[in-house]
Every structure is written in C-alpha cells, then in structure tokens.
Chains A and B, each alone.
Chain A
Amino acid sequence: MIETVPETEEKVAVDLPWNVVVHNDPVNLMSYVTMVFKRVFGYSTERATEHMLEVHHKGRSIVWTGPREKAEFYVQQLHSYLLLATLEKAA
C-alpha cells in the first residue's frame, strides 16, 4: 500500500495564487493608468487599455494573478505610481 504524506496547510496557503487588483478613483487620468500598466506589467497598449477600461467601468480589475511575493512586488510598484491597488487571495 502506498502512503502519501499530505501537504501542510502552510505550504498550501503559500502555493495559492494571489490577485493584484486595481480599484477606480475619479482623479487618475485614463492615459496615466494605461501608461502605468504598460510600464509595470509590460502589457501591450491594447491589454493595458482593456484593464484600464475595466477599472473605469466596473470599479476594479484583476490585472495579474500569481505567487504572493510577486503580487506584493507589483502592488508596491503600482502604489509608487499612486494607483489604488490591493492584493487578495484568488478564488
């Protein structure tokens, strides 16, 4: 009989992906937000514009998903550009 060792809860929590979410605010310029997405994530103009419009029309956009450490780095970058950004555990 093969026995498997279950992963610890901690390792599972670390492995779960995290979302980087950008939230709308009435002041940031659309052109500025698009520029920031291109700079921080290397997105094309088209993809950056899609996310910017999602923020504008829906109030928020999940702009990236991945490991927590990278998500924290991206949120820090977005804060340095003064975007309203948060990280949350992906569903």
Chain B
Amino acid sequence: MQIARTEEGSFVVSGIEPPLIDFLMAIPTAADPGENAAARERLFPAPSAEAEIREEWREYVEPGLKEWFQSASLAVQDDLRQLGQLGQLGQLHEGPTMTIAAEHVDSWLSVLNQARLALAARFDVTDADMERPVAPVLQNEREQALFQIHFYGFLQECLIKGIESEE
C-alpha cells in the first residue's frame, strides 16, 4: 500500500491489499462510541473538575463536538465508497486505489483518531499494550483492535507528514 500527496493536497492511497480493505471500511464503525460508556467518556471527556463547568459543557459544547465528529465521519464514508466499487478482477490483483479529497483530510485525521481512541477505551488498552508488537495472527477481538489502532495511526502519520511537507 502506498500513500502519496498530490500537488492539490489530496492523498492517493493505492495498491491496497485486500485484507486492509476491511479495516479501512471499518473506520467509521470503529469511530462510533455507540452505547459504550468508556468510549463515550473518552471522546467527550469532562473539561473540568468543577460541576458547574461540566454541566454547561454538556449542554452547550458537546452538541457541537458531536456534530463535527459526525460530519467528519460522513466525509470519510464518502471517500471509502470508492472501495465499495470494486468489480474488476484486475483491480483486486493490483490493489484498489482510493483518493482522499484535500477538503476531507482534516475529517480523516479526526475520524482516524476517534476510531483509535474509541477502540482503546472499549478494550482498555494500556501503555504497555501500545508498546508491545501486535501479534502476527489476530486471534481475538482485542488483538484485532490493537492492529486497527496501529494501522489507523500509520494512516494518520502519513497524512500529517504530507500536510507538514506542504508547510
């Protein structure tokens, strides 16, 4: 898999190996905290120990954050639809290509981070977990979540490097 930034600021993700397609398609779902309390608490943490500030935050700030997170997810889903259009055998052999539009890059950074943090919260990932190598065979959901966290982190790093090379 290669990721290259174009002059216009979009990113072309090419030669995507088939096993990685599923993990890419899973990004929006992974980013949704759903009813998981730990994931919700991590995506919407308390801003202060003071009860008055926390209450105001919940009422006035959280709705705006939710709206931004959802809007970012829609942009990512829009780009991921390119992967859902696989039909030709030739494409599968070469690995399909997906373009992240320039105006969607910040959305991708956000949703990849949402996914990483929500997965980490759901599976109670620790510092030690983050530092050890991912198992070569993903034997359970937790190992799969760790792989996703690292894979999505790799994608984030590629986008950040591309953005900073422009600055």
Listed in ascending order, the chain B residues whose CB lies under 8 Å from chain A are 42-49, 53, 61, 64-65, 68, 109-110, 113-114, 116-117, 120, 125-127, 129-130, 149, 153, 156-157, 160-161, 163-164
Contacts and interface: CB of A to CB of B under 8 A. Distances in A.
A82 B117 contact: yes
A26 B113 contact: no
B48 A88 contact: yes
Contact of A85 (B47, B130, B149): B47
B61 A27 contact: no
B47 A86 contact: yes
Nearest to A73: B61
A12 interface: no
15 contacts: A25-B42, A26-B125, A27-B116, A27-B125, A27-B149, A29-B156, A29-B160, A31-B157, A31-B160, A32-B109, A32-B113, A72-B53, A80-B110, A81-B113, A86-B46
Chain A interface size range: 20 to 34
B43 A82 contact: yes
Nearest to B120: A27
Contacts of A62: none
A81 B127 contact: no
A82 B153 CA distance: 14
A81 B161 CA distance: 17
A81 to B, nearest CB: 7
B47 A75 contact: yes
Contact of B49 (A28, A75, A86): A86
Contacts of B110: 80-82
A26 B129 CA distance: 9
A82 B114 contact: yes
B127 A26 contact: yes
Given A32-B109, A80-B68, A26 B126 contact: yes
B49 A82 contact: no
Interface in A64-82: 72, 75-76, 79-82
Nearest to A24: B127
